Amino acid sequence: MEAIFVPKPASHSHFKTKFSPNPKHVLKQQPFLHVRQNPTRFRLVTAALQNQQEAAAAAFKDTEDESYGEVKGIIGSRALDAAAGMEYLIEWKDGHAPSWVPADFIAKDVVAEYETPWWTAAKKADEPALRNILESGDGRDVDAVDAEGRTALLFVAGLGSEPCVKLLAEAGANLDHRDRSGGLAALHMAAGYVRPGVAKVLLDLGADPEVADDRGRTALDLAREILKATPKGNPMQFGRRIGLEGVVRVLEGAVFEYAEVEEILERRGKGENLEYLVRWKDGGANDWVKAKFVAEDLVRDYEAGLEYAVAEAVLAKRVADEGTPEFLVKWADLDEPTWEPQENVDPDLVKAFEETNNQAQPSSNGPAVVVSTQDNP
């Protein structure tokens, strides 16, 4: 079913949410990255991770061959599920076939020799060093985790290195990986450390803006929370606020898409919190949308009390005395069709009518009239 506005201003595009809003997204003024763990939940998660690590160790013990000798080196790595830890592919000096061994069963200096260059490069956002390691063919898991379940991507995102983010993404990094110290993903790091450029790169690469941390906050929620807690009018905080506003704009752009509004139904809130309940032209569920995302002319019409009507079809066209076109419109809620000037008729209805009715016919009712092939009441 199509719609027109009475009177209908020029067609506009408006923002529509791409993702379902999460009612748990509540803003609280707390410092960035400070996560208060739920003791019961933390014990359960810790127990689960310990069980997984113990299972890996048990599996290794079951297959361990006492004849294995000295380690020649690590030739591969992989992260355990849920970032519970790491396993390494060991090459043995005595010629045994390489085997996967949990990190706890390998000498720390052997692990450090393999891992230190990687984490040093990640924590410095050293793109050439990371590239050299990835191109060395050492079997490294780009999603390798540290003791807190963080990957290299989380570090470089927080440091604001767009080249490193792109490099790791090209190497197959999980853009939505969440760490174990709060459930933070790379987008949360970009938001928390005020990196709008990195946030945009991550989104362009396919990162999910709806990934939530352990407190139910998306990256957009986190950015808004920090912005709200950042003092206004403080010259020392001016640059930070500008950066946070940039992050919010980037993330909002990912959460909203352009769509046609059929009508505004209700309003609520005041000032920055003013929202309108809109009905979408494409038939999607009604949404509460911030006032700044709704076209000004639609807001003016709503506030002026102008009503909207739903049109089903254009039945005919004629040229008015002034030489301007008019269309006979069939309404969903009216028994009789009415003649309307072109500016009041949905352009899509006009286009559909003209595509199927492109020949003028003589009429005794003044100027030429094009009659629709549809049944005319």
| 56: in domain | no
User: So what's the pLDDT on residue 309?
Assistant: 66
Q: Is the peptide bond before 7 cis (omega within 30 degrees of 0)?
A: yes
Res 228 pLDDT > 50:
yes
CB proximity list for 150: less than 8 A, separation 6 or greater: 179, 181
Q: Where is pLDDT greater, at 39 or 371? A: 371
- Give the pLDDT score at 361: 45
Residue 71 domain-assigned (yes or no): no
The lowest-confidence range among 146-150, 155-159, 296-300 is 296-300
Q: Give the pLDDT confidence score for residue 51 in this predicted structure.
A: 54
Contact 158, 168 (CB under 8 A): no
In the predicted model, is pLDDT for residue 205 greater than 90?
yes
Task: Examine the domain organization and report whether 122 and 196 are in the same domain.
Answer: yes
Kindly report the CATH number assigned to the domain that includes residue 350.
2.40.50.40
C-beta neighbour count of 185 within 10 angstroms = 27
275: phi then psi, degrees, rounded to nearest 5: -135, 155
- The larger pLDDT score, comparing residue 272 to residue 343, is at 343
CA separation, residue 270 to residues 150, 186, 223, 280, 291 (Å) = 41, 33, 22, 23, 10
| Cβ(193)–Cβ(160) below 8 Å | yes
> Nearest to residue 141, comparing CAs of 116, 167, 110, 172?
172
Per the structure, the complete domain to which residue 164 belongs is given by 104-255
Indicate the Cα dihedral angle 186, 190, 191, 197, nearest 10°.
-130
CATH number at residue 182: 1.25.40.20
SS3 label, residue 104: helix
Is 31 inside any structural domain? no
Under the banding of pLDDT at 50, 70 and 90, the label for residue 75 is very high
Q: Is the pLDDT of residue 25 over 90?
A: no
- Give the mean pLDDT of 102-129: 96
Q: Could you write out the DSSP letters of every residue in 272-283?
A: GG-EEEEEETT-
pLDDT at residue 227 in the model: 92
pLDDT of residue 55: 56
Residue 345: strand, helix, or coil: coil
Do 215 and 347 lie in a common domain?
Answer: no
Are 181 and 218 within 8 A, CB to CB?
no
Stronger pLDDT, 189 or 65, i.e. the higher one: 189
Does 54 fall in a domain? no
Residues 248 and 315 in one domain: no
Please give the average per-residue pLDDT across 35-43, as a whole number: 36
Q: Residue 362's pLDDT is what?
A: 40
Phi, psi (rounded to 5 degrees) for 190 = -65, -40
Co-location of 326 and 208 in the same domain: no
At 146, which amino acid appears?
Answer: D
- Asked if the structure places residue 89 within a domain, the reply is no
Question: Is 320 found in the same domain as 230?
Answer: no
Q: Are 130 and 237 part of one and the same domain? A: yes
Claim to verify: residue 115 and residue 242 sit in the same structural domain: yes
Residue range 83-101, pLDDT digits in tens: 889 999 999 998 899 999 9
What's the one-letter identity of residue 61?
K
Q: 344 lies in a domain?
A: yes
Q: Are residues 108 and 203 in the same domain?
A: yes
Residue 231, CA distances (Å) to 224, 235, 241, 303 in order: 13, 9, 8, 33
On whether the CB atoms of residues 237 and 231 are closer than 8 A, the answer is: yes
The 10s digit of each residue's pLDDT in 246-286 is 999 999 888 766 667 888 889 888 887 788 899 887 777 88
Greatest C-alpha distance within the chain? 106
Ramachandran category for residue 148: left, alpha or beta (phi over 0 → left; psi -120 to 50 → alpha): alpha
Q: Is the pLDDT of residue 60 over 70?
A: no
Whether residue 243 sits in one domain with residue 159: yes
Taking the CB of residue 353, how many other CB atoms lie within 10 A of it?
23
Q: What's the pLDDT band for 52 if we cut at 50, 70, 90?
A: low
| Tens digit of each residue's pLDDT (9 = 90 or more) over 315-334 | 988 988 888 889 898 887 77
* Predicted local confidence at residue 369, as pLDDT: 46
DSSP E strands: which ranges in the chain? 4-5, 14-17, 71-79, 86-92, 99-102, 256-259, 261-268, 275-280, 287-290, 308-309, 311-319, 325-331, 338-341, 369-371
pLDDT value at position 124? 98
Query: Does 248 fall in a domain?
Result: yes
Q: What is the mean pLDDT of the chain?
A: 79
Q: What is the DSSP string of 6-67?
A: TT--S---EEEESS---TT-------TT-----HHHHHHHHHHHHHHHHHHHHHHHHH--TT
Q: Name the token pair of 184.
A: 């933070």
**Residue 266 burial (C-beta neighbours within 10 Å; 0-12, 13-18, 19+):** exposed
pLDDT at 10 over 70: no
Domain count, the chain: 2
Q: Is the pTM of this model over 0.75?
A: no
Answer for the pair 145, 79: CB distance below 8 angstroms, yes or no: yes
Averaged pLDDT for residues 67-92: 87
In a domain, 299, yes or no: no
Determine contact, residues 85/150, Cβ cutoff 8 Å: no
